[in-house]
Structure 1
Amino acid sequence: MQRRAVRRVVIVVFDGFQMFDLAGPADVFATANLLAREGGYRVEVAAVRAGAVPAQNGIVTLAETALGEVAGPIDTLLVVGGLSVPEHLGDRELIGGVARLAAGAHRVASVCNGSFVLAEAGLLCGRRATTHWLVAGEMADRYPDVEVDADPIYIQDGNVWTSAGVSSGVDLALALVAADHGHRLARNVARGLVVYLHRPGGQSQFSAPMRAAVPRAEPLREIQAFVDANPAEDLSVPALARRAGMSERHFSRVFTEQTGVPPGRYVERSRADAARRLLETTAHPLDRVARETGLGAPETLYRVFRRHWRVSPGDYRRRFRSKENSRS
């Protein structure tokens, strides 16, 4: 039986790049090498010029190869991001080098605003892509031929993969490992690195707490914390208004003003997040998950989960629950 070949990964860096965009995916591939029965990855770092390349945190990385000297087949070409990306979009050696290597690569990927480099190289034209939510609007304005979606943590469109901000590079690399070796190895890599269990690309960049601002008023902060900690309680507007000591109308108005989210929508998002955690960490049947998260019935759980996490509860559990981390 023929053994699988080692996959070559070329990661492109530049002065001022985000170190985690390089280190996170590289460690995912290295851990996969330790756990895979066959095949694996060989990671190379390349830059416009070979040699020392300073990251934005001041740590210097050695780029072993100049972009113009990279030759031979590439399985994955990965471009990192960083605060300095706008300064490099006019660098024709960088953009041209990425375009040249992408033409012969099995797949192309970016982390965070590294997607701007792919777009500048013409690799995202007519494709759906994501990037860090802070610069998604700028990307859409600059590259109108790209369908920019700021919500998912990563997107695959054909052989091009783009991911959101910083830590989502780990999710992207785990997804690539899953595509190459299966979800079991991806889960084991995540466990080995003690990172969040492999998330689906359609999952939002924002968890329920991240989607809303922290209220200025202490009573509203207490309400927000109560909602997140007690999804199965009565979290209707009348009940929450009573707990806050406000009229329903006043409570709805000030909660929306101070969090940016109406109370009913915040409750649904928080319950969706609680359901996601239970699906990842327990073997509870869906009706119990629905009850314990205040969603009532499996049908409601399904609708809410599809709306917020873009996969069905059952599919999410099959793909992303670790048996070792589950409890009955």
Structure 2
Amino acid sequence: MSSFGITGRHRVAVLVRPGLLTMELGVVHRLFGQARDAGGESLYEVVTCALEPGQLRTDADITVAVAHGIAALTEADTVIVPASDEDYDPDDCRIGAPLASAMASLRPGTRIASICSGSRVLAAAGLLDGRRATTHWRSGGRFRELFPAVEWAEDVLYTDDGDVLTGGGVAAGIDLCLHMIRRDHGSAVANEVARGTVVAPHRPGGQAQFGRPSAAPVSTSSSTGSIRAWALDRLDQPLTLRELAAQGSMSVRTFTRRFRTEVGVSPVQWLGRQRVDLARRLLEETDLPVDRVALASGFGTPASMRQHFQAALGVSPSGYRGTFRGSPDVPRATASAR
């Protein structure tokens, strides 16, 4: 029996698994379900399916009754895979044979998307090999180890590689769905859906997910670890490669080579990231003016800090503070620059 009606509308199948994150299922139905053409007709038909239809456990104290099986996947124009709590601590890079078979059953040309750590299913099925993809920032490091053939970019809201799209953590699924609607039917339709849902009509996919700024201590067991720890205490100062190398009694060439081997990026790139993280903490947690944050984090000028923020996060420092500080009437802590 067909899982979809004969409507001619774009067919979206949401493949859910035990431990489903309920918000992500609701996002897909709500957004695609609101999309209408100029005559008020629905542009999408959305169904939820599972490997085994029936009552499905979620991450909340409710269950979801899933009426459709995997036959819905073979009829879909778009398949969306939300996250499950089973993705949080994956044991290996494999998925079960039934799920692998379900993913293999998709028709050629089917568009497939994931939300949050649902990207694990796509990666395990080989659909992300050689492609740029994202996932929730907390899962990024583990997924990078499990699926080295994927070009992981966990610091963006979503990625679009044509027939394969991936969304970052939870609410980034809203941005991904609106992006697909916009791609299918234009900005007017997507904007109307956004208005009806009372969300921003567009956040660029390249905007960062805003994972927690790192303040973890640096291990000093490696040859450059003590140098990094020394630098972290002096981020407000202009630090040169020569000064950093001298701390380890190395030549600049040797230091740069060892640093890249141990950290994975150049010393200059690492310093920039640490300064951005320090500035983020100051913008979130203090009332320091932007120019003093720029000095305290080693950027020197607001213009320099703005340039680094745009490159790293896709927003300005003032925009970042507005996102995380909310109303100016909320009491805030104060702190002094270094």
Residues in 1 aligned to 2:189 and 2:170: alpha-carbon distance in whole angstroms: 22
State whether structure 2 residue 83 is matched by structure 1 residue 21: no
Hey, what does 2:179 align to over in structure 1? 175
- Contact in 2 for aligned 1:130/1:162 (Cα 8 Å): yes
5 Å matches for 1:61-100? 61-67=64-70, 69-70=71-72, 72-85=74-87, 86=90, 89-100=94-105
CA shift digits 1:68-100 (9 cap, x unpaired): x33653211000112213379532111220232
Residue identity matched to 2:200: Y
- Contact in 1 for aligned 2:18/2:84 (Cα 8 Å): no
Hey, what does 1:249 align to over in structure 2? none
Residue identity matched to 2:201: L
State whether structure 2 residue 170 is matched by structure 1 residue 108: no
Q: Which residues of structure 2 form unaligned runs of 5+?
A: 1-6, 215-275, 316-338
Q: Give the total of aligned pairs.
A: 245
Residues in 2 aligned to 1:134 and 1:35: alpha-carbon distance in whole angstroms: 41
C-alpha displacement at 1:173, in angstroms?
A: 0.4
C-alpha displacement at 1:5, in angstroms?
A: 3.5
**Greater per-residue helix proportion:** 1
2:138 to 123, 134, 142: 134
Residues in 2 aligned to 1:236 and 1:71: alpha-carbon distance in whole angstroms: 51
5 Å matches for 1:313-328? none
C-alpha displacement at 1:151, in angstroms?
A: 1.0
C-alpha displacement at 1:17, in angstroms?
A: 1.3
So what's the TM-score if we normalise by structure 1?
0.65
So what's the TM-score if we normalise by structure 2?
0.63
1:6 to 5, 9, 14: 9
1:192 to 196, 201, 205: 196
C-alpha displacement at 1:19, in angstroms?
A: 0.8
Residues in 1 aligned to 2:64 and 2:39: alpha-carbon distance in whole angstroms: 27
Residues in 2 aligned to 1:183 and 1:107: alpha-carbon distance in whole angstroms: 20
What's the RMSD between the two structures over aligned residues? 3.5
Q: Which residues of structure 1 form unaligned runs of 5+?
A: 239-251, 253-261, 273-299, 311-328
Structure 1 residues 237 and 148, CA, compared in 2 at 3 Å: closer, same or farther? Answer: closer
C-alpha displacement at 1:104, in angstroms?
A: 3.5
SS at match of 1:84: helix
Quick check: which has more Rg, 1 or 2? Answer: 2
Residues in 1 aligned to 2:186 and 2:174: alpha-carbon distance in whole angstroms: 16
5 Å matches for 1:35-54? 37-38=40-41, 40-54=43-57
C-alpha displacement at 1:30, in angstroms?
A: 1.3
1:162 to 160, 166, 171: 166
CA shift digits 1:230-282 (9 cap, x unpaired): x5xx44756xxxxxxxxxxxxx4xxxxxxxxx35399669x85xxxxxxxxxx
C-alpha displacement at 1:188, in angstroms?
A: 1.9
Residues in 1 aligned to 2:208 and 2:284: alpha-carbon distance in whole angstroms: 25
Residues in 2 aligned to 1:149 and 1:215: alpha-carbon distance in whole angstroms: 20
C-alpha displacement at 1:169, in angstroms?
A: 0.6
Residue identity matched to 1:225: D
Residues in 2 aligned to 1:215 and 1:203: alpha-carbon distance in whole angstroms: 15
SS at match of 1:116: helix
The share of aligned pairs that are identical, in percent, is 33
Structure 1 residues 222 and 111, CA, compared in 2 at 3 Å: closer, same or farther? Answer: closer
